[in-house]
Amino acid sequence: MKDLKDLNFPDDVKYTKDHEWAKKKGDLITIGIDDYAQDQLGEIVFVELPGIGDSFSKGDEFGSVESVKAVSEIYIPVSGEVVEINQDLEDAPELVNQSCYTKGWLIRVKPARMSEFDGLMDKKAYLDMLKG
């Protein structure tokens, strides 16, 4: 496992206490697991994602990530409807390890309340939480 200073935490995404990230683009939010989470999990071998059209409330479990070490649930950081899933992960779940913020994103949602996104942690708050 890497030291915190060796992990990537972009400034243009928001973070959750459960190590998901969320990025707003237009009226959609892209969601994934962050560099800390994928580093802790180790080699990702399977990703279970919801279906397009599925709706969730903030904090609901929407899928899971399976590594050689464990299976971890993924929680949605904002209420909304799934409008796109990353199909590439079906054949290449390792994209989450290789590029968690770009090629390894999980889902895109149309949020029910954009204010929930605004309430997520910025990079500084998230790093402060990780450092304890």
Tell me: the pLDDT tens digits for 30-64?
A: 999 999 999 999 999 999 999 999 999 999 999 99
Give the pairing type, strands 14-15 and 20-25. Answer: antiparallel
Rounded to an integer, the average pLDDT of 82-107 is 98
Name the average pLDDT for the chain.
97
Look up the CATH number of domain 15-116.
2.40.50.100
Confidence of residue 69 (pLDDT cuts 50, 70, 90): confident
Domain ranges in the chain are: 15-116
**Using H for helix, E for strand and C for coil, what is the string for the chain?**
CCCHHHCCCCCCCEECCCCEEEEEECCEEEEEECHHHHHHHCCEEEEECCCCCCEECCCCEEEEEEECCCEEEEECCCCEEEEEECCHHHHCCCHHHHCCCCCCCCEEEEECCHHHHHCCECHHHHHHHHHC
